[in-house]
Structure 1
Amino acid sequence: MSDSDNDDIDLVVNQIIMNNVKATELIKELFDNNLLQDEVGEPLNKRPRGLHKDRGHEEGHNKLVADYFAKHLVYNDVDFDCRFCMSRRLFLQIVNDLEREVDFFKQHWDAIGVKGFSPLQKCASAIRQLAYGSASDAFDEYLRMSETTSRDCLDHFCKGIIYLYMRQYLRKPTATDVQAIYALDEQTHGLPGMLGRIDCMHWVPGATNDIIVVNQSPIFNDLFENKAPDSSFVVNNTHYNHGYYLADGIYPEWTTFVKAFRYPIEEPQVHFKTRQESARKDIERTFATLKDKWHVLKYPARVWTQRKLTEIMYTCIILHNMIHEDGGFSHYPFDPTEVLLGEIETTISEEDRARNVNLVKNRERHANLRHDLSIHVWNSSSHANN
């Protein structure tokens, strides 16, 4: 190849480079000056806004009132309980409390005097989303509410429920509560010192199972830090410092867990295994009840943050307890003057905390507790008298 050919190639390459540089500079200048526009005169790099829809949200409020809250209503109390998962009385109490305490649920007017959504509409949207586990725009045609507004209603509703009712309906047990729980569980299942049942509602095999969850859980932090209320009890003439939870075989051998005998041999062990497994079924029924009533817990999550998932779970549990009390099934009356021990600021040395942890994780103490319980259950049963 001759020198002239090389010069021609270099000239062509330089010309292409110069043309590209000029084209890039021209496009940048057009964008900077907002000159590159589409056919309707909007910049191509600007996302067009959606058109405002006059949904007639006041019409949605009037229809909701006519259906469920008017003097001559369309749907009766049974229909209301089915669709809102609670009584009309409790629903109106929640609406009034939220309207009084949370600014989002107050009636507002915009700058041109148009009335906003009513507290009834906002609460109805949030509860329907929890009850049906549906998308935020599922009730647009009925409540005349957009997806964004419905999503905001659910978010503020969960925050409001937790703010107003958490201390009463999601509180840690007080000393009075502990004694009431002991009495009820011993009367029902014949197991003294039982605080409840423990299990994991959501887990994926091989990823997050019960044992991983309990090792990461702060459930026993109050016990480790001497903030838990007195829960001592006596069984088979032996004193124990704290109560326990019934658990299945995957849980560790701690004094806070009581598991059934895996291979029972003696009659008291066989009888205790039957009694323990029967009592432990309660938590499975509780999970089923929660998920059947609040389908948002049953279906894959529609929110993407851990905070919102936690708030939704707390809200469903609080509402479940409120509905339980509203139906007259509460066994533990709330005393607002009773101070929770965990609310008092206390300090504990690392040595004391380590000693408490070792006491809870004492395998010998765990075995002794299960043995004493099996003897107590056997002696209290009709089998011992035969």
Structure 2
Amino acid sequence: MNKPLFLHIVDRLSNEIPYFQQRADATGRSGLSALQKCTAAIRLLAYGTALDTVDEYIRLGATTARKCLEHFVEGIITLFQDEYLRRPTPEDLQRLLAVGEERGFPGMIDSIDCMHWEWKNCPTAWKGQYSRGTAKPTIVLEAVASYDLWIWHAFFGPPDTLNDINVLDRSPVFDDIINGEAPQVTFSVNGREYHLAYYLTDGIYPKWATFVQSIKLPQGPKASCFANRQEGYRKDVERAFGVLQARFAIIRNPALSWDKAKIGKIMRACIILHNMIVEDERDGYSYSQQNVSEFQQGEGSGNAHVDLSYSPANTNIADMFVRRTKVRDKKMHAQLKKDLVEHIWQKFGSNY
């Protein structure tokens, strides 16, 4: 991360988290500074090395380095989670929909997928549920990422014996829609109006109205054009996983902790830091800057519309079941996919 961003994190932690405030011992000697503690924690996250590797550089022992890491991830979650791991606001949704329409997918907001983090020190009693066959124990992360690699949703903790569908059944990714708390989205594809935004996914996900998969064996130029576009843009979440692991080697390497709760906090803190870096470096991105700038100026944002004045609906059981049925509507999924094939062919067919 850039130095100003790191110093901003150090300043917030030193002012609001007691552990990072510098103190003097009984002899009047100053203790470790917030800069030393944060540097040690960042190095452990970024390089994924053993705890005693920061001894020579920052003069911290292994025990102190472990405490710095634990307090650092808890401080990051406490101070920055509400801002950098939030659900999209109506303004965020409008921007994502504008970019999705520019790419040829009206109503598309993000892509969703799962990744696995190996758990080296998994307790023996738990290895059966965290291992699939003879594979090593891993913990699953379900994430939703946008075109600029911002991770909007993170659900971490299910064991490796669950696949993407089983993880989805436990995930809260559609809770806001089912509870009537999501903003109303309206868009049209091929002359037909829809009211549920969707994610791009791979073939394992179910055929719901909120998912659009590729065509496994495309027949003809229209299907091939759609499959190429969908498979290319679905890689946003794969790129986000790759960048996340490249920035924080502790996630790429096997987890060494015995405590699953601490592993979850490390993952959540790394995602928050990743989003902070994305926001800090976003001005340097070239993709869709014209479209995003048009949205920020209030100019044309296509046919997709988000109701900015929505109010949460009444959450009674009957309405929740109706909304849940709409999310899982297979007929709407088939119609949406058919319309998207025609729309993408009309927009990009001249290139095939």
TM-score normalised by structure 1 residue count: 0.71
Q: How does 1:151-300 map to 2 (within 5 A)?
A: 151-187=66-102, 189-202=103-116, 207-300=161-254
Aligned to 2:63: 148
Aligned to 1:115: 30
Shift of 1:238: 1.5
Q: Does 1:372 find its partner at 2:319?
A: no
Shift of 1:345: 8.1
Distance in 1, matches of 2:33 and 2:217, equals 61
Counterpart residue identity of residue 214, structure 1:
L
Shift of 1:316: 1.3
Moved more, 117-126 or 225-234: 225-234
Distance in 1, matches of 2:191 and 2:258, equals 52
Name the SS of the counterpart of 1:297 in structure 2: helix
Describe the shift of the 1:250–1:205 C-alpha distance in structure 2 as closer, same or farther (beyond 3 A): farther
Aligned to 2:139: none
Shift of 1:196: 0.8
Aligned to 2:15: 100
Aligned to 1:135: 50
Moved more, 292-301 or 141-150: 141-150
Aligned to 1:27: none
Q: 1:381 aligns with which of 341, 348, 352?
A: 348
Counterpart residue identity of residue 123, structure 1:
C
Distance in 1, matches of 2:265 and 2:54, equals 22
What do residues 137-196 of structure 1 show as CA deviations (whole Å, max 9, x unaligned)?
221122111212111111111111122212221111011110100112222x21111111
Contact 2:164–2:205 (CA under 8 A) maintained in structure 1: yes
Q: Specify every segment of 5 or more residues in structure 1 that has no aligned partner in the other structure, as ranges.
A: 1-85, 336-340
Shift of 1:382: 4.1
Contact 2:182–2:312 (CA under 8 A) maintained in structure 1: no
Distance in 2, matches of 1:329 and 1:232, equals 31
Shift of 1:244: 0.7
Distance in 2, matches of 1:316 and 1:165, equals 11
- Greater relative CO (CA pairs within 8 A, separation 6+): 2
Decide which structure has the larger Cα Rg and report it.
1
Contact 2:222–2:349 (CA under 8 A) maintained in structure 1: no
Q: Does 1:314 find its partner at 2:268?
A: yes
Contact 1:125–1:139 (CA under 8 A) maintained in structure 2: yes
Aligned to 1:357: 324
CA root-mean-square deviation: 2.3
Distance in 2, matches of 1:295 and 1:208, equals 24
Name the SS of the counterpart of 2:116 in structure 1: coil
Shift of 1:346: 6.8
Describe the shift of the 1:346–1:166 C-alpha distance in structure 2 as closer, same or farther (beyond 3 A): farther
Shift of 1:134: 1.4
Shift of 1:220: 0.8
Aligned to 2:125: none
Distance in 2, matches of 1:230 and 1:345, equals 10
Shift of 1:329: 4.5
Q: 2:6 aligns with which of 91, 106, 127?
A: 91
Contact 1:236–1:372 (CA under 8 A) maintained in structure 2: yes
Distance in 2, matches of 1:191 and 1:346, equals 28
Contact 1:175–1:231 (CA under 8 A) maintained in structure 2: no
Distance in 2, matches of 1:266 and 1:349, equals 46
Aligned residues: 291
Q: Name whichever structure is richer in strand by fraction.
A: 2
